[in-house]
Amino acid sequence: MTVVIGTAGHIDHGKTALLRALTGIDADRLPEERRRGMTIDVGYAHLRLPDGTDLDFVDVPGHDRLIGNMLTGAGEIDAVLLVVAADDGPRAQTIEHLGLLDALGIDLGIVALTKVDAVDSRRVAEVERLIRELLTGTSLGGSPITPVSSIDGRGLPELSAALTTLRDRALAARPPTAGENAPVRLAIDRSFVIKGRGTVVTGTLRGGRLAQGTQLRLVPGDREVRAREVQVHGGRVASLAGGGRVALNLAAIEAADLPRGAVLTTDPGIQASNALVVVVQSDGITPGALLRMHLGTEQVRVRVGRGRTDLVPAPAGAVTRLRLARPIAVAAGDHFVLRGGASNQLVVGGVVVDPQPPVGPSRRRATADLLAGVASPDPMARARSFVGLHGVLDRRQLVELAGPEAGRGTPKAWAAVSAASWLVAEPIAGLLEADALAAVSARAGSLSVAELRTRLARLLRRLATVDPRAAATIADDLVAGIVARGDLARNRDQVLEPGRFAGPAPAVLAAMERLERTLATAGPPSLAEAVRATGCPPAGVRALEAAGRIVRLDADLAYASGTYEALTATALRLARSGALSPAALRDATGTSRKFVMAILEDLDRRGILRRTPAGHVPGPRAGLVDLGQAE
């Protein structure tokens, strides 16, 4: 695990010379850079600290015409080394770089006051005072200032000690979710071909452990690639965790397919999108403005929407809808900078709040209040706003958008109704339920399940953007809820008004309870055998399934719902600790391979787990499982 520090400052203030003096590495890697004596593109170096750990450096251009390249480097750093020459003092690009760092929210840094060998002590003191005044009110306010000389080595030991302290602060600031089991994210800043080795990319690792053989998803493109080899500082390693500069040798892909700005990841929350809802930190944005977005190592043209809900005032600035010139890799919570053109000196930072904003029917649900709510500091208020905006969300999406604190709430707190694996906004659920009651009543108190499902799914798709299969599943679950409350009744394939169907006889109810108990084991008998043993008629079996009391995996294998929920939670808990094999699940549940294979196939089909060559890992719908059920 390493920390990545970016240099920043005016041209010719000695950034590259300072890195060379510190690390012995010349970050000017391009021949043109060496010829012209200035950094044109991003360069890289690393420093071995006295305690044996490493620091990674990103050397960024200082020239005003190369600010885009500067932001490519600054978009993936943990802290900054701001370089100011003692003879010149703060200059134009010092101020511009500081504004960009402030917009990105980078608040960990050191100021290196270079070229102190060229001036007297009074000039050093004067420039220190100017720097402190310049930093006041920015994200780097109060940062330490270290006078140094790359010529005679003055101050380099003190700077090294200050960098060690900065490293410790950066590590302490990393969120607890950034552990080794966190998803991997690597924004590509370079891709090239090494003869005899193939395609190589470099970037800064974010998230968990990246190992040789890791399967990564390329975004945009949604293509799977394999990390054939992992290198750190020119040496091959088995894995890297937590962060730092890394090079990957990738299998079966061309360098041309891996542009700067693309992302390699294991995080399902990172998506390719050409439309975003963001919160910007300034009200200087105007409707229809054409701007440039810098996010990670990507830069792209964006246009602010012109609609009445495309630019909404919020406490932190404004909630803004952006249309991008092309799709980029993005996730909720990503920080970015927006810059104007030559005649527009706007520089504003922001954060992505919705990488897949509502479209179609859901877009029509947008109101100023709902959009302002997504910028609320209250996680439950954010959750309610996102549910209200989209109309239909799954729990994983809600946590990604509103944050993990919101995920600890309940559907009622989110102003939502739980339907299958989705959350439906309460007003939409209310309209659907009222329509179901009216439809049954209009048909003399009886309507087929299939007809009612089709009717409600069609209405749902007029109210929110949802695919037909999900709409049908949600409709089924809402009808089951109405039946469970007693507002409607169900008899086989018919939905009826209450009182038109008396329900199963007492003897059938008793047989149903016996069957449910019989199936409440990790290794149940075949369903046919259990039915014979308990005397449960086919109607009782159908009633148990309709009520969700038993879960059928295939024609002759069923579990009591509570038992199957516990088995599901156990499988997911094991898969989150490492790729899950059938043998491991068999040992954990005390059952046989026959049952284990059926369970794994079902969980794979439902997206709770995902089969890989190494075994089963958590799938895209793993977040829907309550791990409290695991034994």
Is the bond leading into 315 cis (omega within 30 degrees of zero)? no
Residue type (1 letter), 255: A
Higher pLDDT among residues 512 and 25, named by residue: 512
Task: Convert the pLDDT of each residue in 24-81 to its tens digit.
Answer: 876 544 333 333 333 323 467 788 877 777 888 887 654 344 344 444 444 567 889 9
Band of pLDDT at residue 190, cut at 50, 70 and 90: confident
**How far, CA to CA in Å, does 506 sit from each of 502, 510, 623?**
11, 6, 39
- pLDDT given at position 406: 87
Higher pLDDT among residues 242 and 149, named by residue: 149
Angle between helices 67-74 and 92-104 (to 10 degrees): 40
Q: How far apart are the first and last CA of the chain?
A: 34
pLDDT at 427 over 50: yes
pLDDT at 344 over 90: no
Which residues, including other chains, have CB under 8 Å from residue 101's CB and lie 6 or more apart?
Answer: 8, 74, 80, 82, 109, 138, 139, 140
- Residues 12, 17, 19, 24: what is their CA dihedral angle, to the nearest 10 degrees? 160
Structure tokens at 620: 């895209």
Residue type (1 letter), 234: G
Longest dimension (CA), the chain: 101
pLDDT at 629 over 70: no
**How far, CA to CA in Å, does 83 sit from each of 9, 59, 87?**
5, 11, 12
- pLDDT given at position 131: 94
pLDDT at 192 over 90: no
Are residues 195 and 77 in contact, defined by beta-carbon separation less than 8 angstroms? no
Are residues 407 and 380 in contact, defined by beta-carbon separation less than 8 angstroms? no
Mean pLDDT of 582-609: 92
Residue with tokens 């397919």: 257
Instruction: Specify the pairing of strand 109-114 against strand 79-85.
Output: parallel
- pLDDT given at position 84: 94
Identical fold between 3-173 and 184-265:
no
Give the number of residues written for the chain: 631
User: How many C-beta neighbours within 10 Å does residue 302 have?
Assistant: 23
Pick the CATH number of 184-265 from 3.40.50.150, 3.20.110.10, 3.40.309.10, 2.40.30.10: 2.40.30.10
- pLDDT given at position 55: 86
Are residues 293 and 299 in contact, defined by beta-carbon separation less than 8 angstroms? yes
CATH 1.10.10.10 fits 514-629, yes or no: yes
19: helix, strand or coil: helix
Task: Convert the pLDDT of each residue in 554-569 to its tens digit.
Answer: 889 999 999 999 999 9
* Nearest alpha carbon to residue 91 among 127, 38, 124, 41: 127
- Residues 583, 584, 587, 593: what is their CA dihedral angle, to the nearest 10 degrees? -30
What is the dotted CATH code of the domain comprising 3-173? 3.40.50.300
Parse the chain into domains and list their residue ranges.
Answer: 3-173, 184-265, 272-408, 419-496, 514-629
pLDDT > 90 in the chain, percent = 43
Distance, in Å, from the CA atom of 281 to the CA atom of 352, rounded to the nearest integer, reads: 12
pLDDT at 523 over 50: yes
pLDDT at 534 over 90: yes
- Calculate the average pLDDT of the chain: 85
Residue 489 C-alpha from the chain's centroid: 42
Mean pLDDT of 337-351: 77
pLDDT at 592 over 80: yes
Among 400-409, 499-508, 592-601, the least confident range: 499-508
- pLDDT given at position 341: 66
Distance, in Å, from the CA atom of 96 to the CA atom of 289, rounded to the nearest integer, reads: 21
CATH topology of domain 419-496: Arc Repressor Mutant, subunit A (1.10.10)
Mean pLDDT of 521-538: 94
Higher pLDDT among residues 97 and 520, named by residue: 520
Task: Return the CATH architecture of domain 272-408.
Answer: Beta Barrel (2.40)
- pLDDT given at position 33: 32
- pLDDT given at position 209: 87
Task: Convert the pLDDT of each residue in 284-315 to its tens digit.
Answer: 788 888 999 989 888 899 999 888 888 888 87
* Nearest alpha carbon to residue 115 among 91, 139, 151, 144: 151
Mean pLDDT of 180-198: 84
- pLDDT given at position 532: 94
Band of pLDDT at residue 329, cut at 50, 70 and 90: very high
